[in-house]
Amino acid sequence: MTLAQSLLGFGLLATVLAITPGLDTVFVLRQALRTRRATAFAAAAGVCLGTLVWGVAAAVGVAALFVASDVAFTVLRWAGVAYLCWLAFTYLRSAWRGDAPSAEVSVPADSPARALAKGLVTNLTNPKVAVFYLTVLPLFLPAGYPPALAGAMLATLHALVGMAWFVVVILAANAVRGFLGSRRGARVIDATAGVAMLGFGLVLGLER
For the four alpha carbons of 120, 111, 30 and 173, in that order, the dihedral sign comes to: negative
User: Is the residue at 18 inside a domain?
Assistant: no
**In-domain check, residue 66:** yes
Longest dimension (CA), the chain: 57
d(CA 127, CA 78): 9
Residue 80 placed within a domain: yes
Please give the average per-residue pLDDT across 97-119, as a whole number.
65
What confidence tens digit (pLDDT) does each residue in 144-175 have?
A: 888 778 888 888 999 999 999 999 889 888 77
Other beta carbons within 10 Å of 138:
15
What contacts 135, CB < 8 A, 6 or more positions away? 67
Residue 17 falls inside a structural domain:
no
In terms of residue numbers, what domain contains 188?
3-12+23-206
pLDDT, tens digit (0-9, with 9 covering 90-100), for 14-49: 887 787 767 788 888 888 887 888 899 999 999 999
Q: How far apart are CA 113 and CA 115, in angstroms?
A: 5
Is 101 a member of any domain? Answer: yes
Q: Has residue 35 been placed in a domain?
A: yes
Q: How many domains does the chain have?
A: 1
- pLDDT score at 67: 62
